[in-house]
Amino acid sequence: MKFVLPDPSDLSEADKAKLKSLGEATFYEEMPATEEEVIQRIDGAELIAVSWINVTENIIRSNPNLIYIVVLAVGYDQIDLQAASAANVRVINCPTHNALAVAEYTIGLIFAVTRRILEANLFLREGNWNQQRFRGVELRGKQLGLIGYGNSGREVEKLAIALGMHVSHATSKTSSTDLDQLVATSDILSLHLPLTKQSRHLIDERRLNLMKPSAYLINTARGAIVDQQALIKILNQKRIAGAALDVFEDEPVSGVPTREMLELIRLGNVVATPHIAYNSEEMAARLGAELIANIQACIEGKLINVVN
């Protein structure tokens, strides 16, 4: 089988060697500059494994040999699933490799925003000292609401319970009324669901207004699950206590943040990082193993982790 990784990945050299032993494997270390370059890179490939690029209908239709698209991530919102299904191309994700990394990072963000750690660090670095300025809140006894209860959500729950928090969760089967109740009663609301047509702007201005004034929003899932403009408005008005965000609705693949992102992340009640919750040494090792297992399953015709 011929397979191509047309954009940079977190795979080790050992993992790349294993992939080369499975078939004709080609790797690219630089981001493609254009869609046409992506098309050129994947020409003739039966399987492509992508990390960051958007796989559009045009890309899918350009290669009649394409059978499988593997996403080196849990989320697969950058793939045109409808076009893939129409072309009889199976889309496969890597659903477990980063669950613990994201869960630990989520708890880290909760500590950072509720105890104002980054704000205090910057204040001290600038040569200031004021112990009373940075009063935070403790987590024990607080209500954590998880929207999404997959691998990372369940790991967050374990860690939160160990901290003495009370945890409730909502899934895709939860009614809109019950979801509203979860939003309204949570001290901390944390998102752990994929971005789909149904989940886009799930946390809109109406639901943001349901949150307690003392509540915090945490997002390590996908930025577009939250209406970003509405969030800026709510935070500016201090309708909620704050937000800790690792993902954004308009984040760039590379380069610099957008103007709207900068408006959001420069707010005093926001902790923000550049989509790195997944990024740990251990995650990278697990990702390689999960990708190899996915590709072996494709070669053997015993598919796993198919999402379309």
CA distance 20 to 5: 12
User: What is the DSSP annotation of 250-276?
Assistant: T--SSS---HHHHHHHTSTTEEE-SS-
Residue 222 annotated in active site: yes
Residue 286 annotated in active site: no
Using an 8 Å Cβ cutoff, are 194 and 76 in contact?
yes
**Active-site entry in 116, 169, 222, 290:** 222
How far apart, in Å, do the first and last CA atoms of the chain sit? Answer: 21
Beta carbons within 8 Å of 106's beta carbon, 6+ residues apart: 152, 156, 190, 192, 218, 220, 277
Residue 275 annotated in active site: yes
Q: 81: how many CB neighbours lie within 10 A of its CB?
A: 17
Helix count and strand count (H, E) for the chain: 12, 11
**Active-site entry in 35, 37, 104, 251:** 251
Using an 8 Å Cβ cutoff, are 261 and 85 in contact?
no
Q: 3: how many CB neighbours lie within 10 A of its CB?
A: 24
**Active-site entry in 61, 154, 239, 275:** 275
Question: SS3 of 68, please?
Answer: strand
Residue 2 pairs in a beta bridge with: 24
Question: SS3 of 100, please?
Answer: helix
Q: Which residues belong to the active site?
A: 222, 251, 275
